[in-house]
């Protein structure tokens, strides 16, 4: 059997990270089995769906490299087919026209609520209370239409909805890849509306028809859809279609254990891009957020493709942990090739300063060391600041102290020594500083601070020798001269 999976977002907002994770799982499951990963945009709710949201979802998926194997489909384009299936279910005796009006349905609910309220009144006998509650429960129970057994229309031109005739009795069982086997009583299911009074198909019908028509073999989605499965299975059965495998993954929770919401931080996938996370880090992090394989923490997409399986999906909700995401991102920034990391970093640096050729060549020398710094591209760009900024106008107390009194003599001596050296490579600079310390019986703790303060003004930076080597002679001398008397 060729595996076909799908991601079926509703274009009513951004691609949030929960959706991205669902897409990732589906893409990996298909890849693992050399199957097909499809994307279906569920845009049937015209009032809430927007073209921009659909674009944002595609952009988010594109950023993560989760592009589907075929062009995306749009659910609204299949409406005719949905209607056709509903009519076929009528033919098969599995669905029927229901003439109950919205007003009648509302009146039924209101009557149920009224009975329930009546049952709470003081002074009722237990029997009276029980019988009122029984009436209330019958009125509030999942709706079984009086037309389900083929009663005639009230008038020939009466408007109708098309409803699925809910299974009469017994249980509906979902055999879920994550949740296991879970059943409910069929009486918990109403006669589900398939076509509204205006003839438009409902979401529940559209999902099943599309999944079937697209040949979807595995429906892997968030467990907010778990209960829908009980309503979707009878549609498959009515059409005599084979059921797909279902797997419902628990939603992502915040650090506090509550379901993820905006207050837990930025949730749009693209916001993470803008915060300076790498797509491969995002994938690796989202993968482990709800799935595990042994105790391996970090997977490349290739590694994940080798081993991803439904049995590794966790039953318990995972908690979003931004610190861990930072660690994973740091890992992938270190692992990225120089060219790629530089290409990702330069736009971030360009937000802080003009990127000159000189700066770019400093970055070429420094990046192999500086890529160890920071957990996002933004932090890494900040860690590079000393490459273009001597911070001379912004010295902190410690730097000011290091550039005062007789410490300036040390600075001036070192300037001369550096200026006279043919090479300012890392080793040459180390040798200059060491021999200066030895000749003046000074320690590195005495010699280093004025030089560091002049060069980087208290900004975080690695060892002095590499800093000098990366900045280059002209820049080093210019930075020192700013602090020496003319």
Q: 442: how many CB neighbours lie within 10 A of its CB?
A: 14
CB of 184 to ligand GLU, least distance (A): 18
Q: 454: how many CB neighbours lie within 10 A of its CB?
A: 26
Q: Are 83 and 50 a contacting pair, CB within 8 Å? A: no
Of 46, 262, 351, 397, the catalytic one is: 262
Specify the residue, 221 or 415, whose C-beta has the smaller distance to ligand GLU. 221
CB of 210 to ligand GLU, least distance (A): 9
Specify the residue, 58 or 207, whose C-beta has the smaller distance to ligand GLU. 207
| 267 scored as a contact of ligand GLU (CB under 6 A) | no
Of 144, 225, 342, 473, the residue at the interface with ligand GLU (CB under 6 A) is 225
Q: Provide the H-helix boundaries in 240-376.
A: 269-274, 279-288, 301-307, 322-335, 338-350, 357-370
Of 3, 5, 10, 330, the residue at the interface with ligand GLU (CB under 6 A) is 10
Specify the residue, 229 or 456, whose C-beta has the smaller distance to ligand GLU. 229
CB burial readout 142-169, b (16+ within 10 A) else e: ebbbebbeeeeeeeeeeebbbbbbbbee
Q: Are strands 245-249 and 218-222 parallel, antiparallel or unpaired?
A: parallel
CB of 221 to ligand GLU, least distance (A): 4
Give the closest residue to 21 by CA, choosing from 375, 317, 256: 317
Q: Could you say which residues in the range 156-215 bind ligand GLU, by CB under 6 A?
A: 207
CB of 168 to ligand GLU, least distance (A): 26
| 221 scored as a contact of ligand GLU (CB under 6 A) | yes
| 9 scored as a contact of ligand GLU (CB under 6 A) | yes
Of 3, 21, 31, 42, the residue at the interface with ligand GLU (CB under 6 A) is 42
Instruction: Tell me how many degrees the CA angle 361-365-371 measures, rounded to the nearest 5.
Output: 115
CB of 89 to ligand GLU, least distance (A): 20
Q: Are 373 and 383 a contacting pair, CB within 8 Å? A: yes
| Stretch near ligand GLU under the rule CB under 6 A, chosen from 3-11, 159-167, 423-431, 432-440 | 3-11
Give the closest residue to 148 by CA, choosing from 184, 87, 94, 82: 94
| 43 scored as a contact of ligand GLU (CB under 6 A) | no
| 401 scored as a contact of ligand GLU (CB under 6 A) | no
Give the closest residue to 95 by CA, choosing from 228, 201, 217, 7: 201
| 8 scored as a contact of ligand GLU (CB under 6 A) | yes
| Stretch near ligand GLU under the rule CB under 6 A, chosen from 6-14, 174-182, 291-299, 325-333 | 6-14
CB burial readout 225-242, b (16+ within 10 A) else e: bbeebbbbbbbbebbeee
Q: Are 378 and 275 a contacting pair, CB within 8 Å? A: yes
CB of 23 to ligand GLU, least distance (A): 10
Q: 83: how many CB neighbours lie within 10 A of its CB?
A: 18
| 385 scored as a contact of ligand GLU (CB under 6 A) | no
Q: Could you say which residues in the range 306-325 bind ligand GLU, by CB under 6 A?
A: none
Q: Are 82 and 239 a contacting pair, CB within 8 Å? A: no
| Stretch near ligand GLU under the rule CB under 6 A, chosen from 7-15, 84-92, 178-186, 431-439 | 7-15
Specify the residue, 225 or 273, whose C-beta has the smaller distance to ligand GLU. 225
- Edge-to-edge strands of the sheet including 95-98? 95-98, 161-164, 193-195
Bridge partners of 220, per DSSP, are 247
| Site residue total, ligand GLU (CB under 6 A) | 7
Q: Is 262 a catalytic residue?
A: yes
CB of 282 to ligand GLU, least distance (A): 19
Binding site for ligand GLU (CB under 6 A): 8-10, 42, 207, 221, 225
Question: Which residues are part of the catalytic machinery?
Answer: 262
């Amino acid at each position: 059997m060729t595996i076909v999976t799908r991601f079926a977002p509703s274009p009513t907002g951004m691609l949030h990270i929960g959706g991205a994770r669902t897409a990732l799982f589906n893409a990996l499951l298909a890849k693992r089995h050399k199957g097909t990963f499809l994307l279906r945009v569920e845009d049937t709710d015209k009032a809430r769906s927007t073209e921009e949201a659909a674009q944002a979802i595609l952009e988010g998926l594109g950023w993560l490299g989760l592009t589907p194997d075929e062009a995306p489909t749009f659910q609204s384009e299949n409406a005719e087919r949905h209607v056709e299936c509903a009519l076929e279910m009528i033919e098969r005796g599995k669905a029927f026209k229901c003439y109950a009006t919205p007003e009648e349905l509302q009146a039924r609910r209101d009557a149920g609520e009224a009975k329930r309220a009546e049952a709470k009144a003081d002074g009722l006998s237990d029997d009276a209370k029980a019988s009122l509650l029984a009436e209330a429960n019958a009125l509030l129970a999942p709706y079984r239409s009086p037309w389900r057994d083929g009663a005639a229309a009230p008038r020939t031109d009466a408007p109708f909805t098309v409803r699925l005739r809910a299974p009469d009795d017994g249980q509906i069982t979902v055999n879920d890849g994550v949740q296991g086997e879970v059943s409910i009583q069929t009486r918990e299911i109403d006669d589900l509306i398939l076509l509204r009074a205006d003839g438009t198909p409902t979401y529940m019908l559209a999902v099943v028809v599309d999944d079937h028509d697209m040949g979807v073999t595995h429906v892997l989605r968030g467990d907010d859809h778990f209960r829908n499965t009980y309503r979707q299975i009878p549609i498959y059965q009515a059409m005599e279609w084979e059921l797909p495998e279902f797997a419902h993954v628990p939603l992502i929770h915040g650090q506090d254990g509550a379901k993820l919401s905006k207050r837990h931080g930025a949730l749009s996938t693209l916001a993470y891009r803008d915060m300076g996370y790498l797509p491969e880090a995002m994938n690796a992090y989202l993968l482990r957020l709800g799935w595990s394989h042994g105790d391996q923490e970090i997977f490349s997409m290739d590694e994940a493709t080798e081993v991803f399986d439904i049995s590794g999906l966790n039953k318990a909700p995972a908690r979003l942990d931004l610190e861990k995401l930072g660690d994973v991102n740091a890992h992938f920034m270190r692992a990225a090739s120089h060219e790629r990391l530089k290409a990702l970093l330069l736009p971030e640096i360009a937000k802080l300063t003009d990127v000159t050729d000189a700066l770019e060549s400093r970055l070429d020398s420094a990046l192999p060391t500086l890529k160890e710094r920071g957990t996002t591209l933004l932090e890494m760009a900040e860690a590079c600041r000393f490459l273009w900024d001597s911070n001379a106008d912004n010295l902190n107390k410690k730097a000011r102290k290091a550039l005062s009194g007789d410490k300036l003599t040390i600075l001036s001596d070192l300037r001369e020594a550096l200026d006279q050296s043919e090479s300012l490579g890392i080793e040459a600079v180390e040798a200059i500083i060491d021999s200066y310390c030895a000749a003046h019986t000074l320690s590195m703790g005495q010699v280093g601070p004025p030089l560091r303060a002049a060069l980087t003004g208290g900004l975080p930076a690695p060892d002095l020798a590499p800093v000098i080597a990366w900045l280059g002679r002209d820049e080093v001398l210019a930075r020192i001269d700013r602090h020496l008397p003319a």
